[in-house]
Amino acid sequence: MAASAGASRSAGQKPRPVRRALLYLGVILTALITLFPFFWILRTSLESDNQVAQGVGGKNGIIPGHLGFGSYVTDLTTQHFARPLLNSAVVALATTIVTIIVASLAGYALARLHIRGAGAILGFILLAGFFPVLAMIGPLFLLLRHLNFLDNIYPLIIVYLVYTLPISTWLLKNFFEQIPIELEEAALVDGASRLQTLRKVVVPVALPGVFTAGILSFILAWNDFAFAVSFLRNTQHFTAPLDIVTLGQSAFQVFYNRIDAAVVIITIPIAALVLIAQRRIISGLTAGSFR
């Protein structure tokens, strides 16, 4: 089969099987290169302190000799990583909730109410989202200090809205626009008020968009380092990304295993979220409503 397929081609063209093999090779290589850092982090996180000190090589090769969860335990107990994790969770969750509520209302207004200058408003919102974060840190620091909001995780929620609101508003506006307006008109005729229409019809139908905006917001808030490092001082108030900085350092050794274990721990909620939400993002949700 392969030979005849190859033979039927004109000279100069690679026969199909070879092209396919090359394609697979490319894909595998890309996958390996992309996944290698994650693999390495996972691998290192499962090493013991001694193995890290020994370095890579010999018995401690690509797959280390011994694998153990010791670093994880150390992180969560003696290194007190649990507290920053909780801080991160609280802030990210709160930011996500506020974002979804505000962005839904704003996105709906921009999509449905024919406001003159709606385009300009959206443009302005997006512009704020593209603004370099590091440039904001100085002025924000002064503002927070003035308000006595430094070294406190709760003001961070408001600050993180800088990351999350622009893109969530834009996303939800686009989602709402795609929902045929007849759906809302049907709800109106059925007796629903505008707000009831939004709550009972529009948002459920736009749930894929709401979920996407939520996940995006959570990730942005969870992963932030710049604002956290600038506005938090007391280690009790640190968020998880910030805590990792001090976690694996000692005067004598850098505990890569502990650092990497912390990185894995930090990544778990995000990975879980995306997996769960993938099931929720059912694009066929709106498939049956029309025609």
The verdict on 253 binding other proteins (CB under 8 A) reads: no
By CB under 8 A, how many residues form the interface with other proteins? Answer: 26
Residue 25 or 282 having the CB closest to other proteins: 282
- Residues 90 to 109 in contact with other proteins, rule: CB under 8 A: none
Give the Cα separation of 110 and 123 in Å (integer): 11
Of positions 204, 235, 254, 278, contacts other proteins by CB under 8 A: 204
The verdict on 207 binding other proteins (CB under 8 A) reads: yes
Residue 135 or 287 having the CB closest to other proteins: 287
Angle of CA points 44, 50, 52, to nearest 5°: 35
The verdict on 290 binding other proteins (CB under 8 A) reads: yes
Closest distance to other proteins from the beta carbon of 205 (Å): 6
Residue 26 or 204 having the CB closest to other proteins: 204
Give the Cα separation of 284 and 291 in Å (integer): 14
Residue 162 or 192 having the CB closest to other proteins: 192
Look at residues 84, 124, 103, 25 and name the one whose alpha carbon lies nearest to residue 242.
84
Please tell me what DSSP assigns to residue 117.
T
The verdict on 288 binding other proteins (CB under 8 A) reads: yes
- Residues 159 to 198 in contact with other proteins, rule: CB under 8 A: 180, 182-183, 185-193, 196
| CB distance 137 to 131 below 8 Å | no
Count how many residues are written for the chain: 291
Closest distance to other proteins from the beta carbon of 43 (Å): 44
Residue 65 or 180 having the CB closest to other proteins: 180
CA distances from 139 to 146, 221, 227, 288 (A): 11, 20, 12, 50
Tokens matching residue 199: 């709550």
Give the Cα separation of 204 and 199 in Å (integer): 7
Give the Cα separation of 284 and 259 in Å (integer): 42
Give the Cα separation of 280 and 275 in Å (integer): 9
Closest distance to other proteins from the beta carbon of 171 (Å): 19
Closest distance to other proteins from the beta carbon of 207 (Å): 8
Interface with other proteins by CB under 8 A: which residues?
Answer: 180, 182-183, 185-193, 196, 200-201, 204-205, 207, 284-291
